[in-house]
Amino acid sequence: MSLTLCILLLYLMSSATLSMLFARKQSNKGFLLNYFAGSRSVGGIMLAFTMATTYTSASSFLGGPALAAHYGLSWVLLACVQYSVIFLIMGVIGKKIAQSARQTGAISLGDFVYSKYKSHGLVVTLALFQILFFSIYIAVNLAGGAQVFKTFLNLDYVHSLLIFSLTIGIYAFFGGFKAIAFNNTLQGFVMVLGCFFLLVALLNNGGGMSTIVQNIKTLNSNLLHPTSGGNLSQTFISSFWILVGLGLLGLPTTAAIAMGFKSNHEANKSIILGTIVLGLITLIIHLIGFMGVSFGEKANDGIIASLAKNNFSPVLAGIFLGAPTGAILSTVDTILIGCSAAFIKDILLRARPQTKQIKFITIAFNFFIFGVASFIVLNPPSFLVWLNLFSIGGQESAYFALIIFGLWTKKPSTLGAYLSAILGVGIYLLFYWKEWSFFGAHLSVVGILSSIAGYAMGLGIEKLNS
Amino acid sequence: MFKTNMELMITLLTYSLNFAWWFFFAFGVNWGEVETYSYIWGLPEWFFYSCIAGFGFCIFTIGVSVVFFFEKETQ
């Protein structure tokens, strides 16, 4: 299996090199602007791939298929709500945020929040939430990568985690994340190809879809049922149209990406292309997880790696590994930027505007976050997806109301924004801690509703006082 | 209080349509027990209609919305 790993490392090195070369051609608008918003010069195709691949992280590429193997087609059904997300996001907030960013010169979400609500305190509070939830998000991806390395290296989980974190860290350090949009486009191609290759290999080895499905039917007929024989309720599955649907409108990453494109024309093209790319990757990789049951694979986060190992030659497996690694890299690079932006722009530069050595601090901070993230998943989570969704739900609870109201109402309310973030996250965490249920839906729903309620309360109080 | 525009309305409408299709073919129809399933491309009918034909449907509705109703000029 060391051949496999060699090929993967080769892939990482070429990818980093290409990114560096491409980055050199980018304009020199200053480190901050370049690093944080890609100089707002991202073309349609790159934007499409950036959006598609940023959503496809370790959770969807590795974790999702694991649950598809566990619950069956009902989980694939659940994953398919994501077909419409790029369209939804771009249609509701994408262009407005980009417009707002162009007008105010905002390059991070914190800038945008300040431009609407004029409160430093709010920006700092949100930045802290962001750093917390983003660290978890990164942790999930590191754990996902660790599972992949574990399968191919035959090492224990902790060693795999450390090696993988180091690999990503070095990749980042050597400019692998310089041309993020380019990097994501590259990873996107690899992911789509990887999915197709693995699907074809499985269909070949399994004797066709019909045979595979009938085989699964004999093993566990629940896996063919839309609610997995009742293991997943209709409410729970449908609530994902909020968690990974409407709720995404409150995701800071989304807003940050949307701030990066050039023109409406580019945006329109990218919506359709991005939808196709994301849809293909999501559908195929989850279907593969489900099909894995027929091959005797265990339903855990290592399933995709295991399927690749057992159905590809070592060389092909090495090439394929570029896909989940790409999924992770493309997500981590965007999230890391968000994290750094939150710390540097929203907290540090606000407190001490004269700070020099920004580049150095950014790199140091990145390494720090990596350390924290690795620590969070030192004990591997049982299923990555749940931890990932916790992070996403948390972000949505903080941001949903203030992004939507900020963009779509005439007079944004600062008190409303404060209350929405604090109540949203507060109630979200409360429900999680107490393990309360909210009508059988995912807890992100109660978080988002709380954030809306909080905003309304703040708005009401402000009106009463005026 | 909310200022709306064409893009927002179309987006929400299309999103709802896509949801309706997805929901209808997965949960709206009574497909019966697993033993009685029919299969298309080897996969259970409900799944094919909801997620595979549904993918085509989504691309169609999204394509129409973007091409015919989204703003082309940048402000």
Torsion of CA A394, A396, A400, A402, to 10 degrees: 40
CA Rg value for chain B? 17
- ipTM score of the complex? 0.93
Instruction: Check A81 against B50: CB less than 8 A apart.
Output: no
Instruction: Check B43 against A213: CB less than 8 A apart.
Output: yes
* Nearest one of A59, A289, A327 to A188, comparing CA atoms: A327
CA A450 remoteness from chain centre: 23
CA A321 remoteness from chain centre: 19
Tokens of A35: 């690093």
Cβ contacts of B25 on chain A, cutoff 8 Å:
none
Write the pLDDT tens digit of every residue in A30-44.
554 544 454 445 667
CA A114 remoteness from chain centre: 24
Write the pLDDT tens digit of every residue in B29-69.
888 888 899 999 999 999 999 999 999 999 999 999 998 88
The residue of chain A with its CA nearest to that of B18 is A84
Instruction: Check A213 against B52: CB less than 8 A apart.
Output: no
Interface residue B25 vs chain A (CB under 8 A)? no
Write the pLDDT tens digit of every residue in A255-296.
776 766 666 777 788 889 999 999 999 999 999 999 999 999
- Cβ-in-10-Å burial (0-12, 13-18, 19+) of A311 comes to buried
Tokens of A341: 């932006």
Torsion of CA A334, A56, A176, A340, to 10 degrees: 20
The residue of chain A with its CA nearest to that of B8 is A92
The residue of chain A with its CA nearest to that of B70 is A268
Cβ contacts of A81 on chain B, cutoff 8 Å:
19, 22
Residue of B50, B54, B66 lying closest to A271 (CB–CB): B66
Tokens of A444: 């992100």
Instruction: Check B3 against A408: CB less than 8 A apart.
Output: yes
CB pairs under 8 A between A and B: 125
The amino acid that residue A240 corresponds to is: F
pLDDT in tens, chain A (466 residues): 577 778 888 887 887 777 777 766 654 445 545 444 544 456 678 878 888 887 788 888 899 999 999 999 999 999 999 999 989 988 888 778 877 877 887 777 788 888 889 998 999 999 999 999 999 999 999 999 898 888 877 788 998 898 888 888 777 666 555 567 777 788 888 889 989 999 999 999 999 999 999 999 999 999 999 998 888 999 999 999 988 888 888 887 777 767 666 667 777 888 899 999 999 999 999 999 999 999 999 888 889 989 998 999 888 888 888 888 888 887 887 788 778 878 888 888 878 877 777 778 888 888 888 889 999 999 888 888 888 899 999 999 999 998 889 888 888 899 999 999 999 999 999 998 888 888 888 888 999 999 999 999 998 998 888 7
Write the pLDDT tens digit of every residue in A406-462.
888 888 899 999 999 999 999 999 998 888 888 888 888 999 999 999 999 998 998
> CA of A147: how far to CAs of A166, A378, A380, A430, in Å?
15, 12, 9, 31
* Secondary structure letter of residue B2 according to DSSP: B
Give the span between the Cα atoms of A4 and A24, in whole angstroms: 31
Per residue, what are the HEC states of chain A?
CHHHHHHHHHHHHHHHHHHHHHHHCCCCCCHHHHHHHHHHCECHHHHHHHHHHHHCCHHHHHHHHHHHHHHCHHHHHHHHHHHHHHHHHHHHHHHHHHHHHHHHCCCCHHHHHHHHHCCHHHHHHHHHHHHHHHHHHHHHHHHHHHHHHHHHHCCCHHHHHHHHHHHHHHHHHHHHCCCHHHHHHHHHHHHHHHHHHHHHHHHHHHCCHHHHHHHHHHHCHHHHCCCHHHCCCHHHHHCHHHHCCHHHHHCHHHHHHHCCECCHHHHHHHHHHHHHHHHHHHHHHHHHHHHHHHHCCCCCCCHHHHHHHHHCCHHHHHHHCHHHHHHHHHHHHHHHHHHHHHHHHHHHHHHCCCCCCHHHHHHHHHHHHHHHHHHHCCCCCCCHHHHHHHHHHHHHHHHHHHHHHHHHECCCCHHHHHHHHHHHHHHHHHHHHHCCCECCECCHHHHHHHHHHHHHHHHHHHHHHC
**Can you state the percent helix, strand and coil of chain B, rounding each to 5?**
70, 5, 25
Cβ contacts of A88 on chain B, cutoff 8 Å:
11, 15
Give the span between the Cα atoms of A12 and A169, in whole angstroms: 12
- The CA-CA-CA angle for residues A435, A282, A322, to 5°, reads 105
Distance from CA of B18 to the nearest CA of A (A): 7
